[in-house]
């Protein structure tokens, strides 16, 4: 089995021990992992360091959003760790501060545009008049202007984003489900193959792998789907 580095497996689990068990079960079926808010307060950074030392790709999904000085210094702290990707909220001031914080490092900073769990009614309830696609496109332009490395969007916006950005701009899409798969709370979803065909550079998959009876089998099927097999 050759793991596809474009597949980030979300380690959304209740403990570092369970996350470590999942990485062991996946073995060579996965090489890229996303650590988010669930593990951050309970040893997530120790696990991140372990994975980095083991040669895995690590995506820290911390969605920073604070005043400029704090964002810049927080991103600077992350930049020295050896992780591949870090998220911040896609607000112009936050993204500009993040670009300063990571300057000179190999860290890729990407902006979270619109959560993939939000559809039009949910956006209206928050007070946004624009639909998801309009918001994503505006925030993509702001990410380019700020000089960060990419954005997070749903697969449904990836094609329009890809048409407006350079080839090396990262488009990372959660909201990925196998045909007929359980969507959970995700609203704007597509298959792994369709997400990549639409222009995603990387996909994030959580529950379809981390809650699967056989995670290795699930990751293998997703990797095959990514390749159109
Ligand atoms: O379990 P599931 O595949 O839905 O997990 C998706 C992962 O992607 C979660 O870790 C979630 O926090 C993250 N994410 C998302 N939508 C975004 C940004 C991150 O679902 N816009």
Domains of the chain and CATH, by start:
7-226 (3.20.20.70)
Give the pLDDT confidence score for residue 188 in this predicted structure.
82
- 34 counts as catalytic: no
* Atom 5 in ligand 1: residue holding the nearest Cα: 206
Residue 203 CA to residue 95 CA, distance in Å, equals 21
Among 48, 207, 54, which Cα is nearest to 116's?
Answer: 207
State the Cα–Cα distance between residues 226 and 155, nearest whole angstrom. Answer: 13
Can you tell me whether residue 7 is helix, strand or coil?
strand
Question: Is the CB of residue 186 below 6 angstroms from any atom belonging to ligand 1?
Answer: yes
Using most ligand atoms within 8 A of CB, pick from 8, 10, 208 the residue to mutate for ligand 1.
10
pLDDT of 71 reads 98
- The CB of 155 under 6 Å from ligand 1? The reply is no
Predicted local distance difference test score (pLDDT) of residue 103: 97
Q: pLDDT at position 100, please?
A: 98
- By the 8 A CB rule, do 25 and 216 touch? yes
Residue (of 166, 61, 67) closest to 108 by Cα position: 61
Residue ranges for the chain with pLDDT beneath 70: 1
Closest Cα to atom 10 of ligand 1 = 10
The structure tokens listed for 211 are: 């809650």
Residue nearest to atom 12 of ligand 1 (CA): 36
d(CA 220, CA 3): 8
CA distances from 99 to 69, 82, 84, 144, 194 (A): 12, 17, 15, 11, 30
Share of the chain residues as helix, strand and coil, in percent rounded to the nearest 5: 45, 15, 40
**What is the pLDDT at residue 2?**
81
Q: Which residue has the tokens 């990571």?
A: 102
Averaged pLDDT of the chain? 96
Q: In sequence order, which residues have a C-beta less than 8 Å from that of residue 147 and are 6 or more positions away? A: 96, 99
Quote the pLDDT of residue 153: 94
∠ CA 39-187-146 to the nearest 5 degrees?
65
Q: What is the pLDDT of residue 183?
A: 85
Q: What is the DSSP letter of 176?
A: B
Non-local CB neighbours of 199 within 8 Å, separated by 6+ positions: 158, 159, 161, 162, 163, 171
């Amino acid at each position: 089995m050759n793991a596809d580095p474009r597949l980030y497996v979300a380690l959304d689990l209740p403990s570092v021990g369970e996350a470590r068990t999942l990485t062991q079960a996946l073995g060579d079926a996965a090489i890229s992992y996303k650590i988010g808010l669930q593990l951050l307060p309970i040893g997530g950074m120790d696990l991140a360091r372990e994975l980095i030392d083991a040669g895995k790709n690590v995506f820290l999904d911390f969605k920073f959003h604070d005043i400029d000085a704090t964002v810049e210094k927080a991103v600077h702290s992350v930049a020295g760790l050896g992780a591949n990707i870090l998220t911040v909220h896609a607000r112009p001031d936050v993204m500009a501060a993040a670009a300063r914080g990571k300057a000179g490092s190999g860290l890729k900073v990407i902006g979270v545009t619109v959560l993939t769990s939000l559809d039009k009614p949910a956006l209206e309830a928050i007070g946004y008049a624009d639909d998801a696609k309009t918001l994503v496109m505006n925030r993509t332009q702001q990410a380019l202007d700020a000089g960060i490395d990419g954005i997070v969007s749903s697969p449904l916006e990836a094609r329009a984003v890809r048409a407006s950005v350079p080839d090396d701009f990262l488009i990372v899409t959660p909201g990925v489900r196998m045909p007929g798969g359980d969507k959970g709370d995700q609203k704007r979803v597509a298959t792994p193959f369709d997400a990549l065909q639409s222009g995603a550079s990387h996909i994030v998959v959580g529950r379809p792998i981390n809650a699967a009876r056989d995670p290795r089998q699930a990751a293998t099927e997703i990797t095959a789907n990514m390749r159109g097999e």
